[in-house]
Chains A and B, each alone.
Chain A
Amino acid sequence: MDGIADMGGTQGWGPTHPPLADEPVFGEAWEGRAFALALLSTRVAGWNLDAFRHALERLSRTEYLDDGYFGRWLNAAELVLTDSAVLAPEAVEARARNLRGQHVVEPPPSQPVRPDYKPTAEGSLRAVDAAPAFAIGERVRAKNMSRTGHSRLPRYVRGHTGVVESVQPPSVLPDTNAHFEGENPQYVYTVRFDSHELWGAEAEPFALTIEMFESYLEKIT
């Protein structure tokens, strides 16, 4: 989907931050808890990695940005938990208020709804019977495709032409897997784009590669 998460090429973020030596993995204790809770919440809800990434991209701008990376993970975890009714929508806020000494009535426990979904194997790599539809060296176009659901086709490559650089192992299609609509494994292609194709004549000269699922690409006719 075309949400806040699709950041490639967007402007207005200011300068980058130089690396810090010896940066701790978790700057504050809650960040580690939030990280672990996000992993475990996804499992508790019976969701998968793609569904979790879709939860991240469904967050509002505020939810995505204001509490940093691990705050974003926490917010996505809450979305996973409330969407799957593991927790009632008001449960977290009510508990948080009670933790700081307010007296709020908490909602009764809800009845979880697990998706009708089971992965066919661990991880995301799968075998497919078909041969790859595109060959190394072939010119291809990234489809101009804007989805309301999950997708890994960022805006900045859509409609642009590149060259297949390598064929990667077939993998579960995030677009359907995130919605528990099947794994639909497909070949993944590393496609090379020229910076001027993406950003116009004034762009810095460089090349960019990105992995494209087979259904994101079309032949150049």
Chain B
Amino acid sequence: MTMSESGERIPASLRTEAVEQLLTERGLVDPKALDKIITTYETNVGPLNGAKVIAKAWTDPQYRRSLLEDGTAAIRELGYIGAQTEHVVVVENTATSHHVVVCTLCSCYPWQLLGLPPSWYKDPAYRARIVREPRKVLSEMGLELADDVEITVHDSSSEVRWLVLPERPAGTEKLSEEQLVPLITREAMVGVAKIRAR
């Protein structure tokens, strides 16, 4: 498929163009439909959605309870349940308990909440190693956890998706929900980073 008869590789960019042309000529896809999908994931669906969920949970104790009890229902309230995010379980990171999420079999990820996965999440090294040596991997990625912090790794092997509710950093007590949103990173919502007050 990727190799020609002479063993020479045809670049993926060119093969992509070929597939699009062939399907378009046969009337099977519309290039505008491709544009629409690309725009959706470049601009509309991204980690900002997840950040809004987290900021609400940080500022609204009742919402926080609902989110941890029934993540799917609480997230549906904000409109972020959909393709690749049908059922969500939310777990809370604290000073003594740390959760981190992976998909070892592909790169399943809560698209509606966090957008498409970043390259580190899709990296074979992350997929292979986080389920075997999470403390070491997190340290490589810049997150040092104290020895007494209990780590739980969640391998998303089914359509259940995991979202980490990160710890609200000290020094943000006076910030409003809207002011908190930009502090919240996708890395923290997957569990490979903590959130810092700016």
Binding site for B on A (CB under 8 A): 5-11, 13-20, 23-30, 32-37, 39-41, 44, 53, 56-57, 62-63, 65-67, 69-71, 74-75, 77-79, 81-82, 86-87, 91-93, 95-97, 99-100, 109, 123-125, 152-154, 156, 166, 168-169, 171, 174, 188, 190, 192, 198-199, 203-213
Contacts and interface: CB of A to CB of B under 8 A. Distances in A.
A198 B132 CA distance: 8
Q: Closest 7 interchain pairs by CB?
A: A8-B104, A211-B158, A95-B18, A30-B13, A13-B125, A36-B37, A206-B151
Contacts of B62: none
A9 B152 contact: no
A18 B125 contact: no
Interface in B113-163: 115-116, 118-120, 122-137, 140-142, 150-160
A32 B107 CA distance: 16
B26 interface: yes
A102 to B, nearest CB: 10
Contacts, number: 256
Given A26-B42, A75-B1, A190-B89, A39 B158 contact: no
Interface in B56-89: 83, 86-87, 89
Contacts of A212: 157-158
A93 B1 CA distance: 8
B158 A35 contact: no
Nearest to B123: A17
A63 B17 contact: no
From DSSP, what is the main secondary structure of chain B's interface residues?
mixed
B155 A30 contact: no
A99 B104 contact: no
Interface string B1-42: 111100001101111111111110010110001100110011
A81 B17 CA distance: 15
Given A156-B131, A168-B87, A86 B155 contact: no
A184 B107 CA distance: 24
Given A9-B128, A63-B2, A204 B192 contact: no
Nearest to B159: A124
8 contacts: A13-B125, A17-B123, A25-B115, A40-B29, A67-B2, A206-B135, A208-B152, A208-B155
Contact of B87 (A56, A169, A174): A169
B19 A209 contact: no
Given A16-B120, A204-B136, A208-B153, A32 B42 contact: yes
